[in-house]
């Protein structure tokens, strides 16, 4: 699957490969320390955020983009 921004598709592919390799070769074998794909993810995330701004895609209320400022949690 391509990324939201055409320029981000290669970064997405690199991150997906890194994550899948880490998940299969390390995490599933009980080795969950470290973050070998963190820098790739950050680069991909920045690219996606830029593409969203350039395409003027409304993202208000979408929590996956980061914590909402001023959001209060109801504990019932």
Indicate the domain borders of the chain: 6-55
Rounded to 10 deg, the angle between the 38-54 and 9-25 helix axes is: 150
What is the pLDDT at residue 72? 46
Are 18 and 36 in contact by the 8 Å Cβ rule? The answer is yes
What is the pLDDT at residue 34? 83
This prediction has a pTM of 0.69
Are 32 and 26 in contact by the 8 Å Cβ rule? The answer is yes
| Residues of the chain below pLDDT 70 | 61-76
Q: Which residue has the tokens 């997906």?
A: 16
């Amino acid at each position: 699957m391509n990324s939201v921004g055409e320029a981000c598709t290669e970064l997405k592919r690199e991150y997906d490969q890194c994550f899948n390799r880490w998940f299969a070769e390390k995490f599933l074998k009980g080795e969950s320390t470290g973050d070998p794909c963190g820098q790739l993810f950050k680069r991909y995330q920045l690219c996606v955020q830029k593409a969203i701004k350039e395409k003027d895609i409304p993202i208000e209320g979408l929590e996956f983009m980061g914590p909402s400022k001023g959001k209060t949690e109801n504990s019932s």
